[in-house]
Structure 1
Amino acid sequence: MKRLFPAPLLTLSLWALWLVLNLSLSPGHLLLGALLGFVAPLMFAPLRPLPVRMRKPGVALKLFLLVGRDVVISNLAVAWGVWRGGHKPPRSAFVKVPLDLHNANGLAALAMITTVVPGTVWSELALDRSVLLMHVFDLDNEAAFIAHFKSAYERPLMEIFQ
């Protein structure tokens, strides 16, 4: 049954959305909406994300709070760096961070964290998922940044997802 209806809620939602958008309950629209609701989830099943198994919710909560703190601190640091930009320009750099995290859901969470924290940008991930290229707005010490990134973000995500 799961092969025939990989996402039953999505099937029902697409069918209902079709009917609402067409403002009609005619037999043709009922049939077309049902066909759309049946075929679309089958076609797009390979694109669905992997199921997530979160192992340690306590670690996830700590990571959430740490990211929130880092967002506030980084916002202030970037604002200060922009404000004093004429006197002391920021030392922007690309950093290659070696990764031990290979889980697709964990890497997606790491990408979101990197995007949310001001001053860092996820630039490229190696094809074998072993190295992450990041751009950092103001970098004092590359080794210290890599150590902080791995211990603060990558290690907790490994505990949660692997």
Structure 2
Amino acid sequence: MKRWLPSPLVSGILVLLWLLLQQSIDPATLLLGAILAVAVPLLTQPFFHPIGFPRVARPLLLLRLLAMAGIEIARSCFNVSRVILFAKAEGLNSQFIRIPLDLKNPYGLALLSCLINMTPGTVWVEILPEKYELALHVFDLHDEQWWIDTIKTRYEKPLIEIFE
């Protein structure tokens, strides 16, 4: 079974999404959905080979994190828009900051990168390998320690619980 369906959950989700997108359950749609459900995980399996598929230890915490991140993204949209439209350029304090990371899981780091880059006003620049620090660019920085505490407590701590 594992040989043809390396990830049955992914295969099931693919079939459901295919049927939802097609808005039909005729035999041809079901057959093509089944073929995709088998082929896509098999073809993408080499990308996950070194560490395997991600294991989510606490799925409810992941949902809570994503909901909180969505609220933060919406809030940042308004704040950045306000700064761009109404603030004077001389008052902007655009800075790079470094945040020490404890998170080592590549899936957790990838999700952290996505959440940071989706938030307007912040850009994940790189992880500095010598000290394992995140280099982050903030569009309008007022309190560096607030950013460090926010990334560490709101994002990194739950991601460690979810993925490690």
TM norm structure 2: 0.69
Structure 2 CA distance for partners of 1:57 and 1:123, relative to 1, 3 Å: same
Distance 1:156 1:128 in 2: 24
1:38-59 CA deviation, whole Å, 9 max, x = no partner? xx959x82x3363111011111
Report the 3-state secondary structure (helix = DSSP H, G, I; strand = E; otherwise coil) of the residue aligned with 2:69. Answer: helix
- Residue 127 (structure 1) shift: 2.8
Q: CA RMSD in A?
A: 2.7
Instruction: Name the aligned partner's letter for residue 113 of structure 2.
Output: A
Distance 1:52 1:76 in 2: 33
Report the 3-state secondary structure (helix = DSSP H, G, I; strand = E; otherwise coil) of the residue aligned with 2:134. Answer: strand
Of 55, 58, 81, which aligns to 1:56? 58
Larger Rg: 1
Structure 2: stretches of 5+ with no match in the other structure: 9-38
Moved over 4 A (4+): 5-9
- Residue 140 (structure 1) shift: 0.8
1:17-44 CA deviation, whole Å, 9 max, x = no partner? xxxxxxxxxxxxxxxxxxxx9xx959x8
- Residue 88 (structure 1) shift: 5.3
TM norm structure 1: 0.70
Q: Percent identity?
A: 33
Matched, 1:91 2:117: no
Instruction: Please say which of residues 55-64 and 80-89 is displaced more in the overlay.
Output: 80-89
Distance 1:61 1:8 in 2: 21
- Residue 86 (structure 1) shift: 2.3
